[in-house]
Structure 1
Amino acid sequence: MATIHVVTWNNRRQYRRELERYFRIRYDIYVKRRQWHALARPINIEMDAFDTEHAVYLLALDSVGKIVGGSRLVPTLQPHLLANVFPGLAPAGPPRAPDIFEWTRFFVSPALRSRGRSSPIAGVVLCGVLEVAHKLGIRQISVVCESFWPKRLRAFGWSIVELGDILQHQDGDIVALLIDVTPEAIASTRRAYGIREPVLAEASMTG
């Protein structure tokens, strides 16, 4: 089973090659495949204004160290997507607190996706997001996502609040959510994907 490795500003040199590959996969998925025009760059990597020293990267690595999925967490006390790009998605104001982080750039390697059903790697990454957040003392995560995600996440047993209405966007209809990070959500997501143990590679949290 793939495991989640956590990459921060402090341990980034240990994951230099993996991090470079991570940004190239993001380009392949978001720019080439999904054609998110606002992200297009003259080089084959996808980085945005929130890929800073504050970002926490979650890399799903298989048994030989190949990236098979990934995601990103950004502290909401720093600039982030909801507050700085899509504030209208949260009319009451984007949630900000030391224990609230924003979740973005969720992906599964295209070669491992399953048509018509969720990939097992998606389960690893989803569990990883919750496990890492819980380990870091993050109480809630906000996210700007496609409009189909609320129904999917609730089916996994996640407790979520929609922060505003759905926005029709050129790259797809989107909505902002606030998600509670709880042991119950971790347990129910593991059950949904048949995952029997933690997916977090503990050593990466101490690097």
Structure 2
Amino acid sequence: MIDVIGPWNRAHHQATLDAMFRLRHQVFVEELGWHLPLARDGMESDQFDGPRTVYLVYRDALGRVAGSMRLIPTTDPHVLGDVFPQLCSGPVPRSPAIYESSRSCIAGFARSGDAQGTIWGALTCGMIEFAMLRDLDCITAVMERRMVAMAKVANWELEVLGPVLEIAGTDVVGVRMPIDPAALDTVRRQRRVPDPVLQLRFAAAA
């Protein structure tokens, strides 16, 4: 299952958030070598981890934080709008009904035993489930171009918003992801993800 941590319950999940920020440091700073000026003391957070940010946190069978994803309302500062607006040929999509997905990562100890990509699939399903519960129009993201082709395997047609940008030898694009129940069902089936994956009390989150 995936815990959903947002402004309505963050005060009760600080230990989980600390573990998530440590995981992000391990993946993005220690493994990938990203230069992230705000990362310190073995934790990675930045200016986009704001008061309204929502986190999807995947736990393994032992309760360890094994993966996470960040969701930011696009009416707030976010990566596509405030760092990479050049990835959009037109205006950056901004709306109360649009969130941005970023900082998705999976722990090294979990990757080695997840040949089916179940954790990635669960985080993706959690993102779509959350968007459907919140009646969002779409999710935006900055992602590797190869991921767009992978989404098509799940019959999920992502809209590329503008040109390709090379960052540290990797081609990235800005995308808009439709909230597609059919794609959700396909990802669940392909990645062997249980239905549903979110663990939350949503009355307090509405």
Query: TM-score, with normalisation over the residues of structure 2?
Result: 0.92
Deviations 1:35-86 (A, max 9, x none): 1114563421111111000101101123443211110110111111011000
CA offsets 1:117-146 (integer angstroms, 9 cap, x no match): 552111111111111111111120000011
Instruction: Count matched residues.
Output: 205
Indicate how the Cα distance of structure 1 residues 116 and 191 shifts in structure 2: closer, same or farther if over 3 A, else same: closer
Shift of 1:155: 1.1
Given residue 111 of structure 1, which amino acid in structure 2 is its aligned partner? F
Letter in 2 for 1:145: M
Q: Which residue of 2 aligns with 1:4?
A: 2
Q: Provide the secondary structure at the position in 1 that maps to 2:174.
A: strand
Match of 1:52 among 43, 50, 53: 50
Q: Which runs of 5+ in 1 are unaligned?
A: none
Q: CA deviation at 1:181?
A: 0.7
How many Å apart are 1:206 and its aligned residue? 3.8
Please, which of 142, 145, 156 is the counterpart of residue 144 of structure 1? 142
Contact kept? 2:155, 2:186, Cα under 8 Å: yes
Shift of 1:173: 2.2
Stretches of 4+ aligned residues off by more than 6 angstroms: none
The correspondence for 2:31, drawn from 16, 30, 33, is: 33
**Alpha-carbon distance, 1:116 to partner:** 10
Asked if 2 retains the 8 angstrom alpha-carbon contact of 1:30 and 1:39, the reply is no
- Paired-residue identity, %: 30
Q: Structure 2 residue aligned with 1:103, among 76, 86, 101?
A: 101
Partner residue of 2:195?
197
Residue number in structure 2 paired with 1:155: 153
Show structure 2 runs of 5+ residues with no match.
none
- Distance in structure 1 (CA, Å) of the matches to 2:160 and 2:29: 27
Give the 3-state SS of the residue equivalent to 2:43 in structure 1: coil
Q: TM-score when scaled to structure 1?
A: 0.91
- CA distance in 1 between counterparts of 2:131 and 2:51 reads 17
